[in-house]
Amino acid sequence: DAGVTQSPTHLIKTRGQQVTLRCSPKSGHDTVSWYQQALGQGPQFIFQYYEEEERQRGNFPDRFSGHQFPNYSSELNVNALLLGDSALYLCASSLVVGAPPDTQYFGPGTRLTVL
Amino acid sequence: AQSVTQLGSHVSVSEGALVLLRCNYSSSVPPYLFWYVQYPNQGLQLLLKYTSAATLVKGINGFEAEFKKSETSFHLTKPSAHMSDAAEYFCAVITGTASKLTFGTGTRLQVTL
């Protein structure tokens, strides 16, 4: 059973460019969450997708957008890149939100470097 | 708002010694608490979680944590450290109907011979 996969593993962009990161959830999972982990910090919640809609959003600007496809895979798009966007971007998948909350399983991440 | 505080950004123990990583939470409603481990250049792996059942939670690799409401704590312990335990450890919380994980700043565990 494949776990959460992310692509690419590394990416280098320059300021002002746009980037798209991809995530395939663990088999059977329908919810995808994205997190940003700056160097030396804990992950910060960006947003969560369920049934192809954004269900929750963290404190990130509109330059960060996402999408979920019918097969539950997801993309994270970042426009007008800033140096401060350099980070490890983590995708996590889980079953539909509820109580108690399902475990979120994380992928290996995409390391984005903005020059 | 929910939050977690991890005391000690770096902890060093000898192989075979007790591991104690501290986590305190802040929440106005009963929390769900998690410990994740991150090895270099990898994603996060769940060690254990508390979801309002037993207050003493056992996880993988010999780790356990105890939920103490009176102390708002969820400290992670392991009786005997192994070299392979060297990694970054994150405590996280979810509260109410929210499904986002709020992480602490992490504790880097070093295990020495």
Query: For residue A62, what are its two tokens?
Result: 């509109």
Average model confidence (pLDDT) across chain A: 93
pLDDT value at residue A91: 97
Q: What is the pLDDT of residues B68-103, one digit of tens each?
A: 999 999 999 999 999 999 999 999 998 766 678 999
All residues of chain B having their beta carbon less than 8 Å from the beta carbon of residue A92 are 44, 101
pLDDT value at residue A44: 96
Q: What is the pLDDT of residues A32-84, one digit of tens each?
A: 999 999 998 999 999 999 999 999 899 999 999 999 999 999 999 999 999 99
pLDDT value at residue A99: 64
Q: Say whether pLDDT at B66 is over 70.
A: yes
Q: Say whether pLDDT at B14 is over 80.
A: yes
Q: Which residues pair with A44 in a beta bridge?
A: A36
Enumerate residues 6+ apart whose C-beta is below 8 A from B112.
B12, B13, B14, B15
Contact call for residues A11 and A114 (beta carbons, < 8 A):
no
Average model confidence (pLDDT) across chain B: 93
Complete DSSP assignment for B71-95: TTEEEEEESS--GGG-EEEEEEEEE
Query: For residue A107, what are its two tokens?
Result: 């992928």
Indicate which of B21, B34, B101 best probes the interface with A, i.e. most A CBs within 10 Å of its own CB: B101
Cα torsion angle, A5, A79, B104, B69, sign: negative
Q: Say whether pLDDT at B59 is over 80.
A: yes
The terminus-to-terminus CA distance of chain B in angstroms comes to 41
Contact call for residues B47 and B57 (beta carbons, < 8 A):
no
A91-105 burial code (b ≥16 CB/10 A, e <16): bbbbbebeeebbebb
Pairing of strands A31-37, A44-50: antiparallel
Report residue A97's pLDDT band, with 50, 70 and 90 as the boundaries. Answer: low
Complete DSSP assignment for A6-26: EE-SEEEE-TT--EEEEEEPP
Q: How far apart are CA A91 and CA A109, in angstroms?
A: 7
pLDDT value at residue A16: 97
Phi, psi of B55 (to 5 degrees): -75, -25
Query: For residue B63, what are its two tokens?
Result: 């780790």
pLDDT value at residue A98: 64
A-facing residues of B in 29-68 (CB < 8 A) are 32, 34, 36, 42-46, 49, 51-52
Calculate the CA B97 to chain-centre distance: 22
Matching residue, tokens 């982990």: A37
- The verdict on A84 touching B (C-beta cutoff 8 Å) is no
Contact call for residues A93 and A4 (beta carbons, < 8 A):
yes
What does the angle CA A34 – CA A30 – CA A91 come to, to the nearest 5 degrees?
A: 20
All residues of chain A having their beta carbon less than 8 Å from the beta carbon of residue B42 are 108-109
User: Between chains, do B51 and A100 touch, taking CB under 8 Å as contact?
Assistant: yes
- Mean pLDDT for A87-100 is 85
- Mean pLDDT for B50-77 is 93
